[in-house]
Amino acid sequence: MKPDIERVLFSEEDLHKVAQRLGKQLSVDYADKNPLVICVLKGAILFMTDLVREMDIPLEIDFMDVSSYGDGTVSSGEVRILKDLDTSVFQRNVLIVEDIVDTGRTLSYLMKLLKTREAKSIKICTLMDKQDRRVMNVKADYIGFEVPNEFVVGYGLDYAQHYRNLPYIGVLKPEIYENK
Ligand code: PRP
Ligand code: MN
Ligand code: MG
């Protein structure tokens, strides 16, 4: 384990199992729907690639980069589009894939945007749900794990852009982000 990590919350095996469970369910729910699976960069990238490998149905993937955080731990409350989709969502069954729902600002913004673009359906699949921190009224349709209000990193999730490449999800030691 890296010294900056206090403890492992979800191991590689846990993550593999959850991708299998959700992928199986999504394969049933989206059979014959040719979903457009949207990865919200950058945090969702690792989960997304594992998830779609567990979906043995026709689907398309696309990427969108929106950011609500700076390099700190506190949300700025502001959502910006850094990279838009290449694909039109008009009349498409859209599945948004996220690593974590925290305040819900990112997803609330995305849902509103995709609705104005007239998607046929919009659902959310998130690896983790941090319900305690919710500010906006957002509910994920598919949830991997409910997580407590701790600073989690790894498997796509960063602190100051680092730790995304850890193969597991860990709790960051408070001294790493305190007094910064
Ligand atoms: C993080 C995380 C979610 C979002 C959740 O992304 O990956 O996308 O914040 O927070 P919210 O529910 O309060 O909006 P971030 O904006 O840090 O960008 P990143 O994915 O590139 O790290
Ligand atoms: Mn993100
Ligand atoms: Mg981030």
Task: Find the range with the poorest average confidence among 62-71, 114-123, 125-134, 166-175.
Answer: 62-71
134 lines ligand 1 (CB under 6 A): no
**Global confidence as pTM:** 0.94
Q: How confident is the model at residue 75 (pLDDT cuts 50, 70, 90)?
A: low
Distance separating alpha carbons of residues 96 and 126, to the nearest angstrom: 8
In the CATH hierarchy, which fold is given to the domain comprising 12-145?
Rossmann fold (3.40.50)
> Distance between CA 36 and CA 62 in Å, rounded?
7
Top mutation candidate among 100, 124, 164, 166 for ligand 1, by most atoms within 8 Å of CB: 100
Return the pLDDT at 40.
98
The DSSP secondary structure of 104-156, one letter per residue, reads SHHHHHHHHHHHHTTBSEEEEEEEEE-GGG--S----SEEEEE--SS-EEBTT
* In the predicted structure, residue 3 carries a pLDDT above the cut 90: no
Kindly list the domain boundaries of the chain, sorted by start residue: 12-145
Residue whose C-alpha is closest to residue 162's, from 78, 76, 73, 53: 73
> If you average pLDDT over residues 41-54, what whole number do you get?
98
- pLDDT for the residue 95: 99
Distance 83 CA to ligand 3 centre (A): 15
Protein residue with its CA nearest to atom 20 in ligand 1 = 43
How far is ligand 1, taken at its centre, from the CA of residue 113, in Å?
17
Least reliable range by pLDDT among 23-32, 62-71, 130-139, 154-163: 62-71
Ligand 2 centroid to Cα of residue 68, in Å, is 8
Of all residues in the chain, the percent with pLDDT exceeding 70 is 93
ipTM confidence score: 0.98
For ligand 1, whether the C-beta of 170 sits within 6 Å is no
Q: Identify residues whose C-beta is under 5 A from ligand 2, the ion.
A: 43
50, 99, 102, 129: the active-site residue: 102
